[in-house]
Structure 1
């Protein structure tokens, strides 16, 4: 279970329609709506413009689960389903949030934590762990969101590649794509890579030189 679902603060928007929305924007607010949740009515809200803009710039806004806090309302878990923007300024003008039940399944990006890196044979030899995916999108249950994915590097050597199929996913979590993508790999140190490249080039050089020699002998 995730240690902390971030709070998202908003206020109830009194009045509906274009007039109320325009008034909210004049006051530095972005109008929004919270819908879903079975028999619950849609809830019009206002969101501080600067706070919303910051969260949009932070990224993953459409795939982050929030704990919506509105004065006079019970806290509820929501996920953003749409952000309308001004066609000229590209700034947010309206936001739609979906209420989620604890049993709802959603796609979220879960961070990856690598353990036992210091004891991996490849690292002891000077290899470097390349973190290809610091986070992975998973299909998870809203009421049981994993805090992280653990990738154990114990026993991993230079040249080893860790795919998503090599990782034990949290219970109930599923990957959102069928492709067996790479999570990380252990790359050889730069000095060793340079030596290997030189060795690979040597046979080719010798073959070329031998061919030149045979051609020269034939001309004589």
Structure 2
């Protein structure tokens, strides 16, 4: 069992990124973004690694393409992604783990628009949470901490009493800036990730213990969790 502090701390709430953290949609997202990039003359190989974890409008704006309406293009990307959920599935063990949490003590914080988030969650068999912060709810997306702070407020807890589950660098930066503890989900990473935070391959080796209205992450299987 990892001796990382997050496995010995009681939290008021768990906050989850969506894509790459509770479900995998990498293949679908990259199909859509490849089509978009080719249409705009963007180098696909260099561009695709930059799309993960960020809002579409932020990804497009960052490119600074002349004559491109970032809002309209982000809408096109979202609509195309809603139509393509082939291969979208839960990260191993995520559905059962989320169902084990008290409904008022967890939220999803995603860079996806709400309609797309609901579509992907349905495809992965994940129930909509009571609190979900999406792209429309913030004016600045990850790595800005606004989304995580908003989720904590909606749950009625302090962000410092939350544990964030993330996979992408921009999301990790957002959670750090917010002031939350972090667990990095690694199963969707093609390359090993180096991080000072606790890591989990997936949710099959962990469970949650509810203690006096608090949540404690427990890893009963030795060697399945690590801090790197």
State the TM bucket, normalised to the shorter chain.
under 0.3
Structure with the largest fraction of strand: 1
Q: Which has the higher contact order (CA 8 A, sep 6+)?
A: 2
Structure with the largest fraction of helix: 2
Q: TM-score, structure 1 length as denominator?
A: 0.23
Q: TM-score, structure 2 length as denominator?
A: 0.22
